[in-house]
Amino acid sequence: MTIARATIFGGSGFIGRHIVKRLAQRGIVVRAAGRDPEAALFLKPMGQVGQIAPVRADIRSEKDVAAAVAGVDLVVNAVSLGVQTGRDRFADVHVQGAKRVARLAAAAGAKRLIHISGIGSDPNSDSAYVAARGHGDRAVKEAFPAATLLKPSVVFGPGDHFFTTFAAMARLSWALPLFGGGTARVQPVYVGDVADAAMKALDDPAAAGRDYELGGPTVYTHRELMELLLQTVERKRVLVTVPERIALILAALASLVPGKPLTRDMVKLAVADNVVGTGAKTLADLGIAPTTLEVILPTYMDRYRRTGRWRNARFA
C-alpha cells in the first residue's frame, strides 16, 4: 500500500515522535497534530524541509480533527492521558476523542488507521483509565473496522514516564513504594519496538483490523523492576510494601495536591498484571524481536545515577 501523507495525533509525544521519525525516513509527508504546535517544532529536523508540519488539533474538536485528517492516507492516534484534570477527562480523550479520530479518518477516506491503546484495556474495569481505554478501543473498531490496535505494556525508553519517575524519586527519597507488595507482573516494551510495530503493521495488509499486544522479552514483578532500577542508578533504597487499601487512601489525599502525584488509577494499574495474553498476536507476529530492558535502561539513567555519566570514565 502506498502511503504518501500521514497525520499523527500526539506526534510530539513519547511514542508519537518515534513514529513520526520512521515515517519521515520513508519519505512520507507528516502532519504532527497536537494542541500545541510549537511543542512539536523539534520534530521538523527529522525530515526534509517542509516534510514534517506541526499542526494544531485538539482531538476533542470536530473541526480540528476533520482538518487534520483531510487528504491523508494514514492516521495514527498516539494520544494518551494519564491523569484526569478539570479540563482533561479520560472519556473525552480515550473514548470520544478516539472515536472522533476514527470516524473522521474513515469519512476522509484514509486507507489505514493505527490506534495506540494498552494491554488490559477493558470497558468493565474498575479503573477509570483502563475502562476508558476499553470503551475507546470498541468505538474505534466500530467507526473504522480495519483499524489496527497496538496495545503495549509499560513502555520504556528515554523520556518515559515509568522508570524516570521512580528514578527521580530514588534520587530524593530513602524509600520506594511497592503497591500491593510489588507482586504484579509487568512486561516492559521498548518504545522503538512499538514504533517499529506501527511500521510493520502498515506494511502488512493482514494487520488491518487486528489487535497486537506488545510486550518485551521478559516478565518482571514490580519489585524486580524497582530492584533493577536501583541497581542501574547505583542507589540503595528501602522498598516499602504499601497495601492496596492504604495506597488508595494516600491517592485520595494526593489527588488534592497540584499535579496529582498519585491517583487511584495509578494504584489500580500498579497492582494489576500487565502482560501479553495467551493467544494474543504479538511483536513476533510482526517479525520484531523485542529489545531487552537491561540493554536500554542504563543508556538514559545518567542524570539519576549516583556517579553520573562518568561511572566508567578513565582520566590520564
Return the residue matching grid coordinates 476499553.
134
pLDDT digit string, tens, across residues 193-243: 999 999 999 999 999 999 999 999 999 999 999 999 999 999 999 999 999
Mean pLDDT computed over every residue of the chain: 94
Instruction: Provide mean pLDDT across the span 263-272.
Output: 90
Same domain? 261 vs 147: no
Residues 28 and 96 in one domain: yes
CATH of residue 298 = 3.90.25
pLDDT band at 260 (very low <50, low <70, confident <90, very high): confident
pLDDT band at 258 (very low <50, low <70, confident <90, very high): confident
Structural domain harbouring 165? 156-188+216-274+291-306
pLDDT, tens only, 69-115? 999 999 999 999 988 887 889 999 999 999 999 999 999 999 999 99
When pLDDT is averaged across residues 160-178 and rounded to a whole number, the result is 94
Q: What is the DSSP string of 111-144?
A: SEEEEE--TT--TT-SSHHHHHHHHHHHHHHHH-
33-77 confidence digits (pLDDT tens): 999 999 999 999 999 999 999 999 999 999 999 999 999 999 999
How high is the pLDDT of residue 87?
Answer: 80
Question: Which one, of 220, 196, 219, 186, lies nearest residue 285 by Cα?
Answer: 196
Domain co-membership, 45 together with 178: no
Q: Round to whole Å and give the CA distance between 190 and 188.
A: 7
Cα separation, 5 vs 31, whole angstroms = 8
Count of domains forming the chain: 2
Other beta carbons within 10 Å of 130:
24
